Amino acid sequence: MGLDYGSKTVGVAISDPLGITAQGIETICRKDENKLRRTCARIEELIREYEVERIVLGLPKHMNNDIGERAERSMEFGKMLERRTGLEVVMWDERLTTVEAERTLIENKVRREDRKKYIDKIAAVFILQGYLDAGALSRR
At 99, is the pLDDT very low, low, confident or very high (cuts 50, 70, 90)?
A: low
Cα 95 from Cα 16, distance rounded (Å): 24
Q: Give Cβ neighbours of residue 20 (< 8 Å, ≥ 6 apart).
A: 132, 136
Q: Is the pLDDT of residue 140 over 50?
A: no
Average pLDDT over residues 19-45: 92
Cα 7 from Cα 29, distance rounded (Å): 9
At 136, is the pLDDT very low, low, confident or very high (cuts 50, 70, 90)?
A: low
Give 52's DSSP letter: -
At 128, is the pLDDT very low, low, confident or very high (cuts 50, 70, 90)?
A: very high
Q: Give Cβ neighbours of residue 3 (< 8 Å, ≥ 6 apart).
A: 10, 11, 12, 13, 43, 55, 56, 57, 58, 124, 127
Cα 3 from Cα 26, distance rounded (Å): 10
Question: Which 3 state secondary structure label does DSSP give 8?
Answer: coil
Give 18's DSSP letter: T
**Residue 24 β-bridge partners:** 13
Cα 112 from Cα 122, distance rounded (Å): 15
Please give the CATH topology (third level) of the domain spanning 2-138. Nucleotidyltransferase; domain 5 (3.30.420)
pTM: 0.86
The answer to whether 55 and 88 are in contact (CB under 8 A) is yes
Ramachandran region of residue 96, left (φ > 0), alpha (ψ -120 to 50) or beta? left
